[in-house]
Amino acid sequence: MGDRRTAKDGDRRLGRRALFVGGTAAVLGTAVLGTAALAREELGRLWWRLPGIEKPRVAGAVDFPGARWVAASPANLRRADRPDDYRIDRVIIHVTQGGYRSAVNVFQDPGHGAAAHYIVSADGHVTQMVRELDVAFHAGNREYNERSVGIEHEGFVEDASSFTDAMYEASARLTAAICGRYGIPVDRGHIIGHVEVPGTDHTDPGPHWDWARYLRLVRAARTAPVKPQRSA
């Protein structure tokens, strides 16, 4: 905490509302008049916040460095422009009830109707299938889909051995990066299981998922130096 929040604080100081209420001139005026805290880096992050400008997308780009990109079927997501059109304030933890390969396959299947942003394998590899810009259909609840990033974990809720050290550590690094990117508090109110989504009949991640350990790992990863994420 308090480590690399400068960019976020800068965004907050400007206020998203100012973009829409005050318009372009107000934003640019504030940026020009802004204090030294408003660094070049932050200006670079602000231009795409202007109304009507979609963030740049690069084919194959990932939001988490080191993740492998495999595109989910467009039928399993809704193209969006988060966090500008929808604020992201939740990370939702899932368990696939199957192997890594089958999870990738179903998320590529337009008939499946669901996909998560990420899949973490038992050996700790991270695959991204939906950009964080977009709304993935993973929570079974429209509002929660719009406000969250969904992370699947290879394995079975009833099998404690599914959840390996490598998986916990990789997933915690991923969640820490997401929390840092969107200013999401690292706590159980904001990092939740699918089971906690209102209206769901899913039970994942189940009783063997070690929340205390997971949050400890996320907090540790959160305080480690991480480079700010860019959309492109």
Query: What does the alpha-carbon distance between residue 63 and residue 128 come to, in Å, rounded to a whole number?
Result: 8
Residue 132 bears catalytic tag: no
Least spacing, CB of residue 97 vs Zn ion, in Å: 8
Residue 192: CB minimum distance to Zn ion, A: 11
Q: Which is nearer to Zn ion, 29 or 207 (CB)?
A: 207
Instruction: Please return the burial class of 34, using the count of CB atoms within 10 Å of its CB with bins 0-12, 13-18 and 19+.
Output: middle
Q: Is 30 exposed, middle or buried (0-12, 13-18, 19+ CB in 10 A)?
A: middle
Q: How many amino acids of this chain bind Zn ion (CB under 5 A)?
A: 4
Distances (CA, A) of 118 to 19, 49, 59, 131: 31, 25, 17, 9
User: 165 near 216, Cβ under 8 Å?
Assistant: no
Contact between 117 and Zn ion (CB under 5 A)? no
194 makes contact with Zn ion (CB under 5 A) = yes
Q: Taking CB under 5 A as the rule, does residue 202 contact Zn ion?
A: yes
Binding piece for Zn ion, criterion CB under 5 A, among 4-12, 171-179, 202-210, 220-228 = 202-210
82 Cβ contact list (under 8 Å, min separation 6): 88, 132, 133, 134, 135, 146
| Listed ranges 27-35, 57-65, 66-74, 189-197: which one lies at the site for Zn ion (CB under 5 A) | 189-197
What does the block give as tokens for 96?
């696939």
Binding mask 138-177 for Zn ion (x = CB under 5 A): ----------------------------------------
Question: CB of residue 68 vs Zn ion: minimum separation in angstroms?
Answer: 21
Draw the binding track, 71-110, toward Zn ion (x: CB under 5 A; -: no contact).
Answer: -----------------------x----------------
In eight-state DSSP terms, residue 224 is S
Q: Which of 132, 152, 154, 196 is catalytic?
A: 152
Tokens 């998320």 sit on residue: 107
Question: Minimal distance in Å, beta carbon 202 to Zn ion?
Answer: 5
What three-state secondary structure class fits 146?
helix
Nearer to Zn ion, 132 or 204 (CB): 204
Residue 2: partners with Cβ closer than 8 Å, 6 or more residues away: none
Q: Which stretch binds Zn ion (CB under 5 A): 45-53, 162-170, 181-189, 203-211?
A: 203-211
Residues recognised as catalytic: 152
**Which residues are near Zn ion by CB under 5 A?**
94, 194, 202, 204
